[in-house]
Amino acid sequence: MRWFVFSFFLLTFSFCTFQSASAQSGKGCQVYGEIYVTKKLAEAHFRVYVEKESDAFADVIVFKEDARTLADGPGKWYITKTKRFAKYRVIYVKDRRKADFSVFFTDEPEFAGCND
């Protein structure tokens, strides 16, 4: 009986851990549209680490759109200077471990999207 209870607990814990890890990995893909970059942590919906060297380790490859109507899918951001019009508020962090997800900014719109 102990073995059964222990196995059940272990299986349940493993499933919950897997679910939370999966939710974390897809979080950045949901962030698109009008984005406001804040300097205050309390205002931010997400903490974002910016990859500078390569897109290989980024969760999302981001293209900065010139028009808000074009920022209509994963990886397409329109950076707004007005906080109240933003769909999401992000803060850039220097430590990758403190980030909710990482991004790499590209100059090519066709490369924008989730980096699976």
**Predicted TM-score of the model (pTM):** 0.76
pLDDT of residue 13: 45
pLDDT of residue 15: 41
pLDDT of residue 28: 94
pLDDT of residue 24: 45
pLDDT of residue 55: 96
pLDDT of residue 19: 35
Residues of the chain short of pLDDT 70, as ranges, are 1-25
Closest residue by Cα to residue 61 from 47, 72, 50, 45 = 50
